A = this chain, B = another copy of it.
């Protein structure tokens, strides 16, 4: 029992928890929506509840776990356990001592780390990146996040490495949700893609995207809605996905030219949904910009799926 660890993947939409055994197998899990109101205290309470639910499924109390790891958005300080500027979460513009609060609630040690970095490490240890010693994780979802494993170890830089979504693919280009111009995320992030689709739709461009969104009762253009639109041959959806893939190929190639990893692991909501389908055009776009184009890195879709973030978070405990 002492080798059971808990993992919590804290997302803007949902909280996913998992109890992981010493072999990396998931023996309990739970999921609940991220609170949309209140503040960090409320989010922490929902996280603790979701972790206890997973522990119950695994037949243990949270206090019996060797520890709990959290993959968090925003600026997660591994040393202090404080999470700051998690702007997708309610009332979390400032700093909050997340590890300390969860430790009190759960009765075991709690470690925090960056969400996409821990998901990259999960794929490195247990998923699609197991055969490689160096890899770049690219998480293509609401935003575009990234993580690095170099020479078998996580590379965090000064704590903020991996921001591939804010590498510039076009100087002076599209406005990014981060406020800067020409970032990869400005072309490939789901939020930016939705804003661009809405803008073009309002200018008279025909599309079924928003009709599908309403029909399926979604609050936004989810990866599932984009997929349906592509399946219907929706011209605007095709155009914007193609634009995203061009930007992704360019940004990933730039990253590979700098770091030269063995593999690129593609995850995130859109990455999981479209990774296989768009693998060929993505690799083609990459190869246009790879400096050593005769030996491109391996490109794989994540294999741990939705649980990767929580499993990766659990690995923080033994780090």
Contacts and interface: CB of A to CB of B under 8 A. Distances in A.
How many copies of this chain sit in the oligomeric assembly? 2
A250 interface: yes
Contacts of A162: 258, 260
A161 B259 CA distance: 5
A163 interface: yes
Interface of A: 134, 146, 148, 150-151, 155-164, 166-173, 178, 180-183, 246-247, 250-251, 253-255, 257-262, 288-289, 291-292, 295
A258 B155 CA distance: 10
Nearest to A254: B167
A168 B169 contact: yes
Nearest to A187: B171
Contacts of A253: 168
A265 to B, nearest CB: 15
B166 A257 contact: yes
Given A157-B134, A171-B246, A254-B254, A289 B259 contact: no
Contact of A158 (B155, B157, B262): B262
A164 B292 CA distance: 13
